[in-house]
Chains A and B, each alone.
Chain A
Amino acid sequence: MWKTINSALVTSIKNQTVLQPINELLYQQIRTTYVLKRKTPPNLHKLGGLRKPLRSRHYIYDVIKNTAIERQPDIEVLLTSVVEGLGNVGDKVSVRPQFAYNNLLLPGLAVYASPENQEKYKDLAINTDVKKYSTPSAAYTVQSLSRMTLSVIMNKDVPWTLKPWHIKASFRKCGYVVPEYAIELPEQPITGPNMDIENKEFAITVTINKQEKVNVRCRLHHWSTELASRLPYVPRFWETPSEPILPEQKSILDTIPIKEIPVRRLRSGAWGVWVRFLVWRSERHPGPA
């Protein structure tokens, strides 16, 4: 019996010498600090006397603080490029550490805001020619305005000429706040009711914070108060191709990106729409699709 134990011990020792223990490699910094408090405080000892021995009840603790699961404070980073919704080049922003590491520091969009880095990137904001946004959120607004198709509903029976307040009301109905002074209509007036321009497109310019200009694609629809003379409802009108109302606006409308059809709609069998969409896009943007 002793022989077998001996042999097992020898092999295990041999193995140890052959394979390096793995914990030597683990010199990662880990947080293992706990702040504890005894549930029963130990008794006091006499002055100059021996300490009283601790009983088992003195080894029962309450956890006051566990540093491993503590919420870490935000960190400051210095942006080296424009990040939409965050800031411009050279801005010092405070973000969650995990977000900063994954989305800013790893892709190289920002650096740690250490004193050395601040010194190094001091002139970055002045020297770069990158387009700057008035506010971080303006970049998002530009994006969502440029990919939308605004439905402008006008009356089918009463004569009208398109004015900025019509556009303002249409924007508000679609969930956008756009003041009248930010809206710039095409120079040639659009008048109606005119069934030739029904479901046709025109472009307007919206100025955000009196700085960023975005061209917005609009679709004109006629609406009658009487139910009988109302036009049939067209679902997802923005997916069907259309023509510009004003021929001179064709070049502007072609530059505005077209909203892609979401993949889940294609999965549910909207292939006919997709093919029409592809044809439409290839007409507007000739080249490799």
Chain B
Amino acid sequence: MNTLSFRTAIHSCILKSLQNKLIRSTFETTNLIQTREYAARKGTRERKKKGKVKVEIQKVGFIPHNQRNREKYLASRPKLKFDDSTMRDPVDDVFVMNYYKWVVYPFQEAVQCHRETHSPEIYNKPDSDLLVTVELNMQGEKKNKMVDNFTRIAPMPHKFDHGEERSIIAFSKTPENQDIAREAGAQLSGGPDMIKQIQNGQLSLADFKFVIAHPEILPELVVLRGLLKKRFPNPKNGTLDVNLGTAVHKFLHGVSYTATKDEYEKDFGLIETRVGPLSMDAKQLEENFAALVRDIYTMKPKRQGTFISRCILWSPPSPEKLKVDHVAYLEDTESTKSKGKVEDEDDEKVEQVAL
């Protein structure tokens, strides 16, 4: 019985396999059947799934029309850096400015030109401000390292109303120095007693915009370092000075200016400030301008080439913009550069010793 059933089972198996073979052979000839009837290798599907990167659609908020393609617009924008070296020099006494190099006026002549347009018979604004736009080449010591934006106060030899309120507190040990600072215009001038008052809370440093000190009081002043933080007097800013009178005068009457780099053209910097009212004496205006140019040049990085590329004088409401010669005021700074360096080093030493 067992053997019989076994035999029949074998027979049926053979028959089935034969049938299968037959069917397969017939279907193979017609190429209708799937050739692979086994599953893909284990892990293949997972691997492929891993390979697929899910594309995440980022939702972009509404961008105003004038800000679309901003990068593209900035890249195709004409260069801000001024260069008219390819233009011709004028030959005639009457000519169209657009076709030639910019006219470079001597400072006093430019002032005279603005006075003409602001005379009572034309614009009738003889008290208008004389504004200066200074264009800078902000390239640093290395080609792709730029000078940072900076804000400074340039000393003005001839004071004028700059429209800012500036309160000054001056520290010095000797009463003579304290008097000098007070006479120069410091709101408060004192010595170690004043430091104690500040520590007690009787005096608030927040009421003063500038803190100026004489190097002699530096050991006592170190106590206030935590309160003053960045405003702590140092020789680089000019707030730590032996000559308190000039330092106070500078911070009281000097003109503040900021050099800002263009957000796209990083090596193009711009300063807009003023040197006085048009009604001021032309020679005094010139001295103020010279002081400004010299102060800007102290920020020049140690590299070849020029720092200031162009200076423009203008005065609203006139649309006129006159290029003025600034190189004439730089010559003596170039010659004193080597001396200045030595002094700077000395100052640094003093600071190190004091701290």
Q: Do A and B bind each other?
A: yes
Chain A interface (Cβ < 8 Å from any Cβ of B): 134-135, 137-138, 140-141, 144-145, 153-155, 157-158, 160, 165-166, 168-169, 172-173, 175-179, 182, 206-210, 223, 225
Task: Report if A154-B122 is in contact (Cβ < 8 Å); known contacts: A169-B116, A172-B113, A177-B103.
Answer: yes
Which residue from chain A places its CB closest to the CB of B114 in the assembled complex? A169
Contact among B103, B121, B318 for A154, CB-based, below 8 A: B121
Task: Indicate with 1 or 0, residue by residue over B316-327, a CB within 8 angstroms of chain A CB atoms.
Answer: 001110000000
CA distance A175 to B90 in the complex (A): 13
For B, the interface residue count at a CB cutoff of 8 angstroms equals 23
Task: Report if A176-B113 is in contact (Cβ < 8 Å); known contacts: A158-B121, A223-B123, A225-B125.
Answer: no
**B37 close to chain A: CB less than 8 A:** no
Which residues of chain A have C-beta atoms less than 8 A from B319's C-beta? Answer: 173
Asked if A179 contacts B94 (CB within 8 A), the reply is yes
Which residues of chain A have C-beta atoms less than 8 A from B90's C-beta? Answer: 137, 177
Which residue from chain A places its CB closest to the CB of B117 in the assembled complex? A169
Shortest beta-carbon contacts, A-B, top 3? A160-B121, A208-B94, A175-B97
Asked if A175 contacts B96 (CB within 8 A), the reply is yes
Asked if A176 contacts B122 (CB within 8 A), the reply is no
Asked if A141 contacts B96 (CB within 8 A), the reply is yes
Which residue from chain B places its CB closest to the CB of A175 in the assembled complex? B97
Interface residues of B in 87-128 (CB under 8 A from A): 90-99, 103, 113, 116-117, 120-125
Asked if B120 contacts A141 (CB within 8 A), the reply is no
CA distance A140 to B99 in the complex (A): 10
Which residues of chain B have C-beta atoms less than 8 A from A145's C-beta? Answer: 94
Interface of B: prevailing SS: loop
Which residues of chain B have C-beta atoms less than 8 A from A210's C-beta? Answer: 93
Which residues of chain A have C-beta atoms less than 8 A from B93's C-beta? Answer: 177, 179, 182, 208-210
Total number of residue pairs linking A and B with CB closer than 8 Å: 77
CA distance A134 to B96 in the complex (A): 16
Which residue from chain A places its CB closest to the CB of B94 in the assembled complex? A208
Asked if A176 contacts B99 (CB within 8 A), the reply is no
CA distance A207 to B93 in the complex (A): 9
Which residues of chain B have C-beta atoms less than 8 A from A134's C-beta? Answer: 92
Asked if B92 contacts A135 (CB within 8 A), the reply is yes
CA distance A223 to B95 in the complex (A): 27
Contact among B98, B103, B116, B123 for A225, CB-based, below 8 A: B123
Q: What's the least CB distance linking A97 to chain B, in Å?
A: 21
Which residues of chain A have C-beta atoms less than 8 A from B320's C-beta? Answer: 172-173
CA distance A118 to B245 in the complex (A): 76
Q: What's the least CB distance linking A139 to chain B, in Å?
A: 10
CA distance A236 to B308 in the complex (A): 37
**16 A–B contacts from the bound complex (CB under 8 Å):** A134-B92, A137-B92, A140-B96, A141-B92, A144-B96, A153-B122, A157-B124, A158-B120, A158-B121, A158-B124, A160-B121, A169-B122, A175-B97, A176-B94, A176-B96, A182-B94
Interface residues of B in 263-321 (CB under 8 A from A): 318-320
Which residues of chain A have C-beta atoms less than 8 A from B92's C-beta? Answer: 134-135, 137-138, 141, 208-209
CA distance A176 to B91 in the complex (A): 14
Q: What's the least CB distance linking A253 to chain B, in Å?
A: 21
Which residue from chain B places its CB closest to the CB of A183 in the assembled complex? B94
A140, A172, A209 pick with most chain B CB within 10 angstroms: A172
CA distance A170 to B123 in the complex (A): 12
Asked if A177 contacts B124 (CB within 8 A), the reply is no
CA distance A225 to B127 in the complex (A): 12
Which residues of chain B have C-beta atoms less than 8 A from A138's C-beta? Answer: 92
Which residues of chain B have C-beta atoms less than 8 A from A177's C-beta? Answer: 90, 93-95, 97, 103
CA distance A158 to B119 in the complex (A): 10
Which residue from chain A places its CB closest to the CB of B88 in the assembled complex? A137
